[in-house]
Structures are given as structure tokens and as C-alpha cells.
Amino acid sequence: MRVIVAGGGIGGLTSALCLHRLGHEVIVLEAADVIRPLGVGINLLPHAGEILADLGLLSALEAGAMATRELVYFNRHGQRIWSEPRGRYAGHATPQLSLHRGHLQLGLLRAVRAQLGDSKVVTAHRVTQVDQGASGVRVTAEWPDGSTAEVEGDLLIAADGIHSRIRAQFYPDEGPPAYSGRVLWRGISYSRPFLTGASMIMAGHQNQKFVCYPIGPVRADGFQPINWIAELPVPQMLQREDWNRPGVLDDFLPRFERWTFDWLDVPALIRSADAVFEFPMVDRDPLPGWTHGRVTLLGDAAHPMYPVGSNGASQAILDADALGRALSREASPEAALAAYEGHRLAATAAIVGANRGNGPEQCMQLAEERAPQGFGRVEEVFAAGELEAISKSYQVLTGLQRPDALDR
Ligand SMILES: Cc1cc2nc3c(=O)[nH]c(=O)nc-3n(C[C@H](O)[C@H](O)[C@H](O)COP(=O)(O)OP(=O)(O)OC[C@H]3O[C@@H](n4cnc5c(N)ncnc54)[C@H](O)[C@@H]3O)c2cc1C
């Protein structure tokens, strides 16, 4: 089959590789003129890493990334609530990789170009519409000068991100993403390693949170790239979400000025970033369906979710793998798209819902509610087994663990 993929992001490029491997002809239409290494840090969880390992990409990505050793939650006083090993340190076959989004996207892009051919990634083609007949799809793409081109194929996979035009075509009344009332400021700072040098930390609670983790090895000067995210409530969303919008330190740094812990100096880390980006935390309600005949949605186009639990990129990669498996199993393309949706829609809708309730980060919120001034021992705040149960139920929900895995 000839499959058209709208969007050359993480989900679209992984789909292209999965479908090409099955012998399909794939063409990726990307809106940007040039695919640049945009964004800051992102995480690849072990189940998504296994899919990239299978595609032969993991070792190249691992070089230049950080294999995260542990995830540690703290309260706003810098006191440790819970920690758990991650990736290979937790017994998975593949690591949890923390890396620059550009490293991941360009790694996928290089593989697509090498395996499918340069001409199969067509930039400056913004997909605006799809029409379909009994045996195929006709996709309209807009060039930067406003003129249009039409591309024909057997299937369209819409991996065109949170502002998906194809999703809007099928759900014209849906409107913009739903604002959570919270804004994220994101940056990368070069700093000396903290804790194990491979630790991901989250501190605070749902109304004031700081997350950071290294995304690359320590350089010769002893510094390491550390991705961070500061989160605060902002009742009214002032500007529409744009991954590349610059942020202003004065809008959030004063609130973190006193977060100097003996294991991390948060204000110093924030100050040392070269650039700061601002992004309102948004998601969308789960849809009743992704598939319309020979067209389906994938990744953020299908299930944008709060960036809780490091799931955005990983779930898009799981989608791509599930789509490939369904296409190789089912007799007709329509049946395959329906099977893919059957496998993935409810699973990702559950994560959207769990992330609205803070996902595994609810342990920080509970600590704040139960012990706002901090605690002597964490056991005074949580019942025996409570923290393990929070962690485990989210890992099972997101497909990272078998239900019995933490019982071993
Ligand atoms: C510029 C950018 C920076 C980001 N930075 C971060 C970050 O720092 N940390 C993080 O956790 N997540 C970031 N994300 C989001 C993250 O990549 C996704 O949540 C996740 O990887 C799911 O991937 P996706 O492929 O579904 O969507 P995306 O990665 O958003 O990819 C969608 C792709 O589709 C393209 N596109 C959009 N509309 C059209 C159209 N109409 N026709 C054709 N192509 C179209 C976009 O240019 C993009 O390349 C960023 C996304 C973008 C686009």
C-alpha cells in the first residue's frame, strides 16, 4: 500500500519506519520548511525504547542521551517522599532515556531518509484536508506561499500534533485544546550533576512544581545538560500554545527563589539556562473514535495529554508499533485501522484521565495536603504500601509494567 503520513514528528517518523519495514510505500508530509531540532528534553520509556531497539535505532540514540537511573519525588521543602529505579535499573531490557527532543526526532529522521529515501520526507507541505473514496485517499497540502498540492494514497495516518488539521476536519466543533490553568516554563541549563548524576526529580505539589533531569553525559568541564520544567498556576491562558514561545524569568523565578536544597539549587539552575520557553499545560478530551474509513489519528493528534509521567513521545511510539502490527494482521486496511484504534484508544484515554489527576505525581500533592510544613519521617505521612501502590498503578495503566512486576 501507499501510506501517507501527515507530520514528521516523533509519532509520524516512527510510523513511517514501522510501515516501511512491512513493505508499504510511505510518504511523510511535514508542515515545517526544515525539520530542526526543536524543543528541550523528552523521555523515552523502556517499552517505547524496545520498539526503537527493534528498529535498530536505540544504540545511536543512547549515545548523547542519559540512561535515567532513578525517579525521586520531593515535597516543596526538598524532603524525599519516594524514589524508584527506572529503565534497566528497574529490570527492563531497555533503558529509560532522557534526551533532547531534537536528538530523538533527528535520529528518527535520519533513519527514515536512509531507509525510505530522501524524497519520502516532503517538507513545507501542511496537510489541510483529506477526501476519500472506496479505495483510497486524496490529501490536500498547502505550501508556504498558499498554493496547494494533492497527494494520493491508500491510507492517511494523521500524526500532525496537538493542532491536527485532520482531527479538526472530523471533529469541527471541538475547538482549541483545554487549558489546565497551569503554565510550564522549560529550559536546559549546563550544571554540575546532582544526586546520582542520572536522577530525574520532581519537587513541590500541583500548584508549584519543579521537574529536572540530565539529558546527556557529563562534559570534560564537569557540567551536564539538565532539562528543567517549572510549573505554576496562571488562571487565564494569555496566548495559544506554541512549543517555541520564549518565556520570561520574572514570570516564575521569584516563586522558586527559596528552593535551595542541599541536593539542588533550583534558582541557580533556572538562571543558568540559555533560553526559556513557555507552554500552557493543555490536553483534549478523549475522542469517541480516531478512524474514519482509511484515515486515522496517531500520537498527539489522537490523544494529547498533560506531560505527566513522561508519556507523550512514548505513547506515540506505541501507537506506531500497534498500527504496524494491525496492518500486518488484518485482511483489509479499514479493519486494520479499526483494530489499531481498538487497541490504543481506551488505553490512551485512561492515561489522559490519570494525568488530569496528577498521575504518579499525586504523592507530592498528598504530601502537601497532609504535611504542608514538611515531615520528620515520610512514614508519618503515608500508610505502609501507599506510595508503592500509587507508582505501580500508574505503571500498569501506561503499559510500563505487568500488574505483578513490582511484587517480585
Ligand atoms: C516544535 C515542538 C517542540 C516540542 N518540544 C517538546 C519538549 O520540549 N518536550 C516535550 O515533552 N514535548 C515536546 N513536544 C511535543 C512532543 O514532541 C509530543 O508530545 C510527542 O512526541 C508526540 O509526538 P507527535 O509526533 O504526536 O507530535 P509532535 O512531536 O508535535 O509532531 C507533530 C509534527 O506534525 C507537524 N505538523 C503539524 N501540523 C501539520 C500539518 N497540518 N501537516 C503536516 N505536518 C504538520 C509538526 O510540525 C510536527 O513536526 C514538542 C513538539 C513540537 C512540534
Mean predicted lDDT score pLDDT of the chain: 94
Any atom of ligand 1 within 6 Å of the Cβ of 30: yes
Q: What is the CATH number of domain 2-37+102-176+285-356?
A: 3.50.50.60
CA-nearest of 289, 304, 302 to 334 is 289
The grid coordinates listed for 147 are 498554493
Which of 122, 300, 310, 352 for a ligand 1 pocket mutation test, highest count of atoms within 8 Å of Cβ?
300
Residue nearest to atom 38 of ligand 1 (CA): 160
Q: Tell me how far CA of residue 42 lies from CA of 179, 313, 344, 372, in angstroms.
A: 21, 7, 22, 30
Give 300 Cα–ligand 1 centroid separation in angstroms: 7
CB 254 within 8 Å of CB 208: no
Rounded to whole angstroms, how far apart are CA atoms 69 and 165? 39
pLDDT at 403: 53
Rounded to whole angstroms, how far apart are CA atoms 155 and 347? 23
| Sequence spans of domains, the chain | 2-37+102-176+285-356
pLDDT at 359: 81
pLDDT at 402: 60
CB 281 within 8 Å of CB 183: yes
Question: Is the sign of the CA dihedral 35, 36, 42, 48 positive or negative?
Answer: positive
408 falls in which pLDDT band (50, 70, 90)?
A: very low
Q: State the average pLDDT over residues 86-108.
A: 95
Give 42 Cα–ligand 1 centroid separation in angstroms: 12
CA-nearest of 383, 294, 281, 399 to 350 is 399
Q: State the average pLDDT over residues 246-268.
A: 97
406 falls in which pLDDT band (50, 70, 90)?
A: very low
Strands 199-205 and 70-74 turn out to be parallel
